[in-house]
Amino acid sequence: EADIYQTPRYLVIGTGKKITLECSQTMGHDKMYWYQQDPGMELHLIHYSYGVNSTEKGDLSSESTVSRIRTEHFPLTLESARPSHTSQYLCASSDVLRDHETQYFGPGTRLLVL
């Protein structure tokens, strides 16, 4: 069973606010990912990390930023939230050497920006 956690699960916030979505995993996985997904639609990779102090932008341009100071923690920050940021954000992790590098996902954060 995957041990990857996301908080908050739901967030309603006003335009212009700064928000941080938390993601933590206890599996010691080196790779971590952030996806953005509108309801019932495909996943879009917005950020990923190969390990501590490594962060890369994904396929979908995003105004968010990420950091990877510790292996287990991969927070995503929006400096100024806008209604266009309304979506579900999924965090995932994988291990290069185990499980065929299967990605395991957290429960997601559903963000609504008013």
Question: What is the binding site for another protein (CB under 8 A)?
Answer: 2, 33, 40-43, 45, 48, 58, 88, 90, 92, 94, 96-97, 99-108, 110
How many C-alpha atoms does 61 have within 13 Å on its Cβ side? 1
Residue given tokens 């990923």 in the structure block: 48
Looking up tokens 């990779």 gives 45
Between residues 66 and 90, which has the closer beta carbon with respect to another protein? 90
Q: How far is the CB of 44 from another protein (least distance, A)?
A: 9
Least distance (Å) between residue 110 CB and another protein = 7
Find residue 22's DSSP bridge partners. Answer: 7
- Closer by beta carbon to another protein, 70 or else 100: 100
Closest approach of another protein to the CB of residue 36, in Å: 12
Q: Are 46 and 70 in contact (CB under 8 A)?
A: no
Closest to 31 (Cα-Cα) out of 53, 50, 59, 57? 50
Q: Which is nearer to another protein, 12 or 16 (CB)?
A: 12
